[in-house]
Structure 1
Amino acid sequence: MTTTHFDHLIVGGGMVADTAARGIREIDANGSIGILSDDVDAPYTRPALSKKLWTDDEFTWDKVPLGTADDTGADIRLRTRVTAIRPEEREVDADGQTFSYGTLLLATGGKPVALPIEDRSNGERALTFRTAEDYRRLRSLADEVDRIAVVGGGYIGSELAAALVQNGVDTVLIHTGAVLGDAVFPAALAERFEKLFRDAGVEIVAGSKVAGGDADATGARLELENGDVVRADAVVSGLGIEVATDLAEGAGLTVDDGIVVDAQLRTSTDGVWAAGDVASYPDRILGRRRVEHVDNANEQGRAAGRNLAGAAEPYTHTPYYYSAVFGIRYEAVGTLDAALDTVEDWIDPERGVVYYLDDDRVVGVLLWNVEDARDAARKVLAEADRLSRDDLPGPIR
């Protein structure tokens, strides 16, 4: 068996791989970079798949690829599934091939959670949603069929429901909350959030979990836990991901809600780093956490790439996350949990800040249609020990 060597090898072909390759090039202009990806597309901008590609006519498909190979010289191997990592030998097995490396980055992300239904359509009428291929299939369905069910009321589910209904699809959104967004927003804001969807024509089935059902070439039948049945021409799952830690576990790396890394994004094994959705890292403001959002993928990927090339720098960025539906955009830093105490500071009916407190200490900040305030939100969280409840509202205007 022949072995291909790369000075820097990246397992995973998402946005982390792109920014890591660019980070490597900031330090190492000539070292060889390999990217092993089980995707069918080279790295691309993932948020557009549930946002701009549906709602912005000027954001065309040619803006989706990131140009990783052209810009960095990385050798990208698509449709390549890694099956084992041997850190002591500094080798990776993938589809019958062996790749050796000088440094290794695990950017394996996660796999979307599938629905508990029998799918006889081979994924044609029952989709998960994570890749560009998933987007192309759902976009095709949106043009072909009348009614699509979306399961999941989180970021992806709500964005997909908004995208579909704005493209003329009869859309039903099934979620487990009493009100859409009630797991993260204060009650009155969740009501306003759900109203955006109802006013746009989305049928909302609340307090419901899909327990079974089936899909075939003619459509989907979803059995809910309460015994109700929802029928649609197709169904798409927006239930989040299962973190892909199997390779790390098999290689003996420390795993605990993700691959555990230190401040430089190094794993417990020499020569191996991890970044992105899969990495549990020590945030300098918020403490150890794992973040599944694009800002973290971009910033952490770059930091990991620089460190693969020898920079030995701590990752000091505290990421934000965001969503955009029906003309509103909300951003957040830290922990958003509706079970926490909140202090709301509304600038006007459409713009405001919500502070989330745990034991009277700010642990999260929600920016609702408030622009250019992410650094201010980070400052509030960094100074949480010096801020009392009486100091809120006020810090962000």
Structure 2
Amino acid sequence: MEIVILGAGQAAASMAAKLRASGHDGPITIVGEETAPPYQRPPLSKAYLLGDMALDRLTLRGSDWWDEQRITLRLGEKARAIDPARKIVTTSKGEIAYDMLALTLGATPRRLPADIGGELQGTFTIRNLADVDHLVDELTPGRKLVVIGGGYIGLEAAAVARKIGLEVTLVEAAPRILGRVAAEETASMIRDLHHAHGVTVIEGTGLARITGTGRATGVELVDGRVIPADLVICGIGVTPDSQLAADAGLSIDNGIATNAFGQTSDPAIWAAGDCASFPLEGDRLRLESVGNAIDMAENVAVNMLGATQAYQPKPWFWSDQFEAKLQIAGLNSGYDRTILRQGETAHSGSVWYYRGAQLLAVDALNDARAYMVGKRLVDAGRSPAPEAVASATDLKALLK
């Protein structure tokens, strides 16, 4: 059976490895638009951007491994169309036949429109290796950076730039940073962290346009303020890369729609990672994380080989900013109560999310114990009383 995987990121690498480990002996081909072999994306906006991690440490597998596993990498090759009836993928370099096809296409950064300066030189997004390589030489001490967007990518980029020595202003149109993904308590801890390191954080004010002719010179806000800028980073979210699937007639619903096993509306085509949505508890969910890319891809791999194993995510996330590590376990969707526990040091603490009596998720900033305990509780479906979390002198006692 010939298995072809479109997209050459974390999900593709994990899926291919799991296919081999699960006994698939037939051909496996990974097709990726980038020329680099599969690599880690999270360090791009952190250690790699800082220069603390070299390219060879980013790659997920050495070149020998792909040869030993008889996995063909077709890099620098863009998939252009899928013909489900003929089971053919057309690429920039020809056609590839498949028996089973997996889509691990990831997501694409949202970009600002050209009519408000989104295409001016000196404006950047951060998603892939080329994005960061273009940005690195621009990050020199003393220059002025404006970051548009107060989500994790924007905050991480702001932290890196400030550590290098740039003057950094972060602009968030919503009432506060992390508005879609975290409680006010977590946002407050992160905001205080950035303020302590000299980042100017502007919230509740949107972008009118990026100023400049040919190259960005500043950012004009809707309230009329103009912030000078030598460069602008746009971190305003991503959209799932589902156009190829849509053009092939596959069902699209918040990304490429799959069933509980990772199968799309075409039984010979599967999907995993950032581009794919799956059913969970009567809803449809799409997760953008390394953990989901790995776990969903491995789950799809065994199902492609005949298993019927429904995907049950155990979400976890992290974000490194300055000297702080934010670790997150679970999904806080639908929470109606939070418990804040202060940490033992500056810029540390944990936020526990509840819906009624059910513990949904935990955010832990510089608090590894809270994260460890919270993750074990969430993964096991256990919910200590909120009052017990608030008053516990030893969080490990909650596990008993």
**TM-score, L = length of structure 1:** 0.87
* Pairing partner for 1:318 from 290, 295, 314: 314
Structure 1, residues 45-97: CA drift from partner, whole Å, max 9, x if none?
A: 1011011224573x323201223653233222223222221223211122262
TM-superposed deviation, 1:359: 4.0
TM-superposed deviation, 1:208: 2.0
Task: For 2:314, give the aligned amino acid.
Answer: T
- The CA distance in 1 between the partners of 2:82 and 2:211, in whole Å, is 37
1:1-397 matches, cutoff 5 A: 7-28=2-23, 30-55=25-50, 57=52, 59-67=53-61, 70-72=64-66, 73-95=70-92, 97-118=94-115, 124-143=121-140, 146-181=143-178, 184-214=181-211, 216=213, 218-283=215-280, 288-336=284-332, 340-350=336-346, 351-371=348-368, 376-381=373-378, 388-393=385-390, 394=392, 396-397=395-396
Task: For 1:334, give the aligned amino acid.
Answer: G
Q: What secondary structure sits across from 2:98 in the alignment?
A: strand
Q: What secondary structure sits across from 2:137 in the alignment?
A: helix
Q: What secondary structure sits across from 1:105 in the alignment?
A: strand
- The CA distance in 1 between the partners of 2:280 and 2:374, in whole Å, is 15
TM-superposed deviation, 1:221: 3.2
Q: What secondary structure sits across from 2:299 in the alignment?
A: helix
Structure 1, residues 137-172: CA drift from partner, whole Å, max 9, x if none?
A: 111111398122111100100000000110112222
- The CA distance in 2 between the partners of 1:375 and 1:121, in whole Å, is 41
Judged with a 3 Å threshold, the aligned counterparts in structure 2 of structure 1 residues 254 and 364 are, in CA distance, closer, same or farther, namely same
Segment drifting more, 28-37 vs 182-191: 182-191
- The CA distance in 2 between the partners of 1:282 and 1:338, in whole Å, is 17
Whether the 8 Å CA contact 1:220–1:234 is kept in 2: the answer is yes
Q: What secondary structure sits across from 1:348 in the alignment?
A: coil
Task: For 1:248, give the aligned amino acid.
Answer: A
RMSD (Å), alpha carbons? 3.0
Task: For 1:21, give the aligned amino acid.
Answer: A
TM-superposed deviation, 1:193: 1.8
- The CA distance in 2 between the partners of 1:386 and 1:129, in whole Å, is 37
Judged with a 3 Å threshold, the aligned counterparts in structure 2 of structure 1 residues 307 and 176 are, in CA distance, closer, same or farther, namely same
- The CA distance in 2 between the partners of 1:254 and 1:374, in whole Å, is 37
- The CA distance in 1 between the partners of 2:313 and 2:175, in whole Å, is 35
Task: For 1:24, give the aligned amino acid.
Answer: L
Identity %: 27
- The CA distance in 1 between the partners of 2:334 and 2:170, in whole Å, is 21
Whether the 8 Å CA contact 2:314–2:379 is kept in 1: the answer is no
Structure 1 residue runs without a partner (length 5+): 1-5
- The CA distance in 1 between the partners of 2:213 and 2:357, in whole Å, is 52
- The CA distance in 1 between the partners of 2:198 and 2:142, in whole Å, is 17
Judged with a 3 Å threshold, the aligned counterparts in structure 2 of structure 1 residues 371 and 272 are, in CA distance, closer, same or farther, namely same
Whether the 8 Å CA contact 1:69–1:75 is kept in 2: the answer is no
Structure 1, residues 243-274: CA drift from partner, whole Å, max 9, x if none?
A: 11112222222221122222321222111111
Judged with a 3 Å threshold, the aligned counterparts in structure 2 of structure 1 residues 385 and 130 are, in CA distance, closer, same or farther, namely same
Structure 1, residues 8-42: CA drift from partner, whole Å, max 9, x if none?
A: 11111211111111111112453222122222322
Whether the 8 Å CA contact 1:322–1:329 is kept in 2: the answer is yes
Task: For 1:308, give the aligned amino acid.
Answer: M
Judged with a 3 Å threshold, the aligned counterparts in structure 2 of structure 1 residues 215 and 103 are, in CA distance, closer, same or farther, namely farther
- The CA distance in 2 between the partners of 1:163 and 1:81, in whole Å, is 31
Judged with a 3 Å threshold, the aligned counterparts in structure 2 of structure 1 residues 27 and 123 are, in CA distance, closer, same or farther, namely farther
Whether the 8 Å CA contact 1:208–1:224 is kept in 2: the answer is yes
Segment drifting more, 304-313 vs 127-136: 304-313
Whether the 8 Å CA contact 1:68–1:74 is kept in 2: the answer is no
